[in-house]
Amino acid sequence: MLKKEARKIYNKKREGISYADKLKWDDLILINFQTIEMPFLQTVFSFYPMEERNEINAFLITDYLHFRNLSLQICYPKMDIKEPNMEAVACKADTVFEANALNILEPLEAEIINPEDIDLVLAPMLVCDVQGNRVGYGKGYYDRYLNRCNPSCIKVGLSYFEPVGKIEDADEFDVALDFCITPQKAYVF
Ligand SMILES: Nc1nc2c(c(=O)[nH]1)N(C=O)[C@@H](CNc1ccc(C(=O)N[C@@H](CCC(=O)O)C(=O)O)cc1)CN2
Ligand SMILES: Nc1ncnc2c1ncn2[C@@H]1O[C@H](COP(=O)(O)OP(=O)(O)OP(=O)(O)O)[C@@H](O)[C@H]1O
């Protein structure tokens, strides 16, 4: 399958998920995330889910990680749409989020964290393939960002859908995931 085809199919599938299924599947993703062995984490880069696109509720996972380590630093993306580029910004409980031009909520705060200091990335995505190649919205934000992270950074994709057969047009910029968590299973690549 090609990324473009996967994007079309899975954008549509995700739009069709009922609210009841979404709540159930978000919980199952948390349960499956809890089965993977995690080292001590200091800094996590998550994302602010876009409700209108039915993105996964990553807050359930960051709440769980925060509960395990009360001094966990949680970062959210701040985009430079023109570049395109994004940075991880450290957030606190009182951080104010504001919608950007793409209607993604971003922190007003500006403490940019060095990508090399990120221990784990929770990556939004539509679907991945059996080798952990991720398919997002097609702007390459995460490919660019993950290439700046330490090789030891743990890359976890969250998806409502099981991996597809090989994505044929994965290129040299694509950084494969270490895990993909779905409502059915935690895939290890
Ligand atoms: N919640 C969340 N935050 C995120 C991401 C994400 O996937 N989810 N990103 C993950 O990379 C980055 C933003 N990437 C994005 C890339 C494209 C579009 C988008 O709306 N694309 C349109 C097409 C626009 C065009 O072609 O001009 C579309 O998909 O319909 C949105 C976000 C950073 N923050
Ligand atoms: N480091 C990079 N430098 C230059 N171009 C890049 C880089 N990383 C990715 N790209 C290009 O960006 C484009 C989009 O990449 P891709 O289709 O993998 O996006 P995606 O992972 O689905 O999107 P996103 O990360 O925004 O969710 C591709 O043409 C890819 O070659």
Q: What is the mean pLDDT of each successive set of 10 residues along the chain, which is 189 residues long?
A: 97 97 98 97 98 97 97 97 95 95 92 98 98 96 97 98 96 95 98
Nearest-CA residue for ligand 1 atom 10 is 141
**If DSSP codes are grouped into helix, strand and coil, which group holds residue 62?**
helix
143 Cα: distance to centroid of ligand 2 (angstroms):
5
DSSP code for 129: B
Which range of residues forms the domain containing residue 98? 3-188
Number of domains present in the structure of the chain? 1
Predicted pLDDT at 110: 80
Domain of 111: which CATH number?
3.40.50.10420
Predicted pLDDT at 109: 80
Model ipTM? 0.92
157: annotated binding-site residue? no
Helix (H) or strand (E) holding 65: helix 59-68
Predicted pLDDT at 131: 97
Phi, psi angle pair for 75, to nearest 5°: -115, 155
pTM above 0.90, yes or no: yes
